[in-house]
Amino acid sequence: MRQYLVTFHKIVPDDHGRDHRILQRCALVTARSEVAALYEAKAQFCAAMRVIDWRLSADSCDVTELTRSAA
């Protein structure tokens, strides 16, 4: 199994009309694939934020596979 870091962001405009990606939440997930990690992280996000769809509180999500360093 691999470890993935999944981050959720909300896009918020500033006073000058420039968009900024604001981190809403991140999740460390152990899964067999990137797709499985996204599915699990989205479920965790919905439970933590108490929403039925993650897109109600975030505009995007990114997944990064974490590599293990050699000991």
**Closest Cα partner for 32 from 1, 66, 64, 63?**
1
Domain parsing of the chain, residue ranges = 2-66
State the Cα–Cα distance between residues 66 and 38, nearest whole angstrom: 14
Query: 45: closest CA among 63, 32, 67?
Result: 63
The pLDDT value recorded for residue 71 is 57
pTM to 2 decimal places: 0.85
Token pair of 9 as six digits: 């962001």
| pLDDT band, very low/low/confident/very high, at 67 (cuts 50, 70, 90) | confident
| pLDDT tens string 34-50 | 999 999 999 999 999 99
